[in-house]
Amino acid sequence: MDSLDEHDAAVVHRAALECEAIAADLERLKAMIADAGGRLLASFNVVGTLETQAPRGEAEQRRLAGAISNAVTALQFQDMADQLTTHAQLRLATMHESLARIAHGVDPLLATSRLQPVRQTGMGAGSIDLF
């Protein structure tokens, strides 16, 4: 592979720095999600405890049980978001390595394509298969 001219090498170097910056942003995002998730779970625990204590009518009890059920499904967001951001960080790290090699005139590595473990696009409940 022909080595890059000075301009192209500078562009590639800037792209590598961008990868680092994006990865750092993702790390901050993970921390924010973890913080928000922790606060939500703490509040959820309070609601879950109180739910069993106060007497209420049947209709009201059903509504509350339904809301708690929806909350349990939605509160799983932290796990899935964490996996998504970690996967994105891994891809950025691979890209960064490839760009660094290009900038030094070495043949680029093909980005390792680990299958994305999280394909969900929303928080609707997932499928169930019994074998």
Partner 1 sequence: MQSILAVDDSASMRQMVSFTLKGAGYHVIEAADGQEALEKARAQQVDLVLTDQNMPRMDGLTLVRQLRAMHAFAATPMLILTTESSDDMKAKGKAAGATGWLVKPFDPAKLLDVVKRVIK
Neighbours of 128 (CB within 10 A): 5
Amino acid at 27: E
Give the x/- contact pattern for partner 1 in 96-125, rule: CB under 8 A.
-------------------x-xxxx--xxx
Site stretch for partner 1 (CB under 8 A), options 20-28, 53-61, 75-83, 91-99: 75-83
Q: Which residues contact 27 (CB under 8 A, 6 or more apart)?
A: 89
Long-range pairs, 35-42, Cβ under 8 A, ≥24: 36/78, 37/75, 37/77, 37/78, 40/75, 41/75
Q: Which residues in the 33-72 window bind partner 1 by CB under 8 A?
A: 37-38, 41, 48, 69, 72
Please, which residue, 37 or 108, has the CB nearer to partner 1?
Answer: 37
Q: Which of 9, 18, 78, 97 binds partner 1 (CB under 8 A)?
A: 78
Q: Which is nearer to partner 1, 2 or 129 (CB)?
A: 129
Long-range Cβ contact pairs of 42-46 (< 8 A, separation 24 or more): 44/71, 44/75
Judged by the rule CB under 8 A, the positions of this chain that interact with partner 1 are 37-38, 41, 48, 69, 72-80, 82-83, 115, 117-120, 123-131
